Amino acid sequence: MRKTFPDDTEERLEAIDTVEVAGRRLDVSSVAAEARVGRAAIGLEESTSIQVRGVTSGYLPAADIEFTGSQDWMLDGEQNVAFLGETAAETLGIPVTDDTRNISIQVNGADYSIIGFLPGEHVFSDSAVIPYRRGLEIAGRDNETQVLIKTALGAGSQISAVARTAILPATPEKLSVSQVVMHNDLRGGVSDQLTRQATWIGAFLIILTVLLIANSMIVSVTARTTEIGVRRALGASRSAVAGVFWFEGAVIGALGGLAGAALAAITITGVAAFNDWSAYLNLGWIALGPVLGMVVGIVASAYPALRATRIHPAIAVRAD
């Protein structure tokens, strides 16, 4: 039997201060294709549809997998015992119950007593979980063994750097460590996603605002046709008439931007105070709100202003 991991792998890892629990896992079915599970009591032939996995007792709490019973310590021994996932139990016609007496399955022709179940949906739902040492005997080698380590919050990246040396001090290069997501990287990823979502929502709202302001300005132009005609009759130029609507659009946009910036600042401060967070307000972005609103208002007023300049004074006065 070829072995890479020492028998005290879990003890070596759990000796590190920030490691809460650790456990080994060997997917026997993927290493030994002949691993089969059946149930002689009901004449169910052995099948490969149920996965056989060998684990140590620390793996279940490390993976946050709940189990029934209190004999998980037997996974560290060499007895023929097993936990059954919920889907595997259903396949074998075994009810999930706290009373596991006289319930057994067969793994490669050997009887294994059921000592508990693994309810819920998880990686072991379709599996028969046997002691790691028994799984290693079936597989014949542990080159596919995985070690799962549960650490204190924020200690994952540090542990990933020392785990190989803790397990194999002389030849740590024989082991590979999966990358652990740093909290800063995770926070940055979430921040980027939120920024993109906020950008799309903001762009949509700006377009909607332009349409609403433009619509209200067009209604205003229609209602003030006579006023526009009188202004033109008294000598007002087309640019002067357009300027009235440009100015009104800019004022409406600036006031809307100011109100929006003030509301956003108040909301952020209120939510932060309610949750005991530290609010960070960028005054530059707050000041940019009215400016952006003014630009949006001017853009929205472009068509109404152009429409107002095309009104002929004689027709406008006659329309009244």
Residue type at position 64: D
Bridge partners of 38, per DSSP, are 106
- pLDDT of 6 strictly over 60: yes
The predicted model gives 98-104 an average pLDDT of 85
- Of residues 82, 180, 174, 70, the one with CA closest to residue 124: 82
Residues 263-278 have pLDDT tens digits of 989 998 998 888 888 8
Residue 41: pLDDT band (50, 70, 90) is: low
Contacts 24+ apart (CB under 8 A), 259-263: 260/289, 260/293, 261/286, 261/287, 261/288, 261/289, 261/290
Q: What is the pLDDT of residue 131?
A: 95
Structure tokens at 44: 């169910």
Average pLDDT, the chain: 84
Tens digit of each residue's pLDDT (9 = 90 or more) over 170-222: 888 888 887 655 556 666 777 788 888 888 998 998 899 899 989 988 888 88
What pLDDT was estimated at residue 180? 59
Per-residue model confidence as pLDDT tens digits over 111-139: 899 999 999 888 899 899 999 999 999 88
Q: Which stretches within 224-237 are classed as H helix?
A: 225-233
Sort 196 into a burial class: Cβ within 10 Å, 0-12 / 13-18 / 19+. exposed
Distance (Å, rounded) from C-alpha 306 to C-alpha 66?
70
118: β partners? 85
> Under the phi-then-psi rule, with left for phi > 0, alpha for psi from -120 to 50, and beta for the rest, what region is 34?
alpha
Taking the complete model, does pTM exceed 0.75, yes or no?
Answer: no
pLDDT, tens digit (0-9, with 9 covering 90-100), for 213-264: 899 888 888 888 888 888 877 888 888 888 888 999 999 999 999 999 999 8
Lowest mean per-residue pLDDT among 27-41, 224-238, 282-296: 27-41
Please state, in angstroms and rounded to a whole number, the distance separating the CA atoms of residues 95 and 100. 9
- The DSSP call for residue 2 is B
Please give the Cα distance from 147 to 124 (Å, whole number).
Answer: 15
Q: In the predicted model, is pLDDT for residue 60 greater than 90?
A: yes
Task: Return the pLDDT at 232.
Answer: 78
Instruction: Determine the angle formed by the axes of helices 238-274 and 302-309, rounding to 10 degrees.
Output: 160
pLDDT at position 46 over 60 = no
Q: pLDDT band at residue 44, thresholds of 50, 70 and 90?
A: low
Compute the average pLDDT of residues 83-100. 87
pLDDT of 43 strictly over 80: no
**Placement of tokens 């209120």 in the chain:** 270
pLDDT band at 21 (very low <50, low <70, confident <90, very high): very high
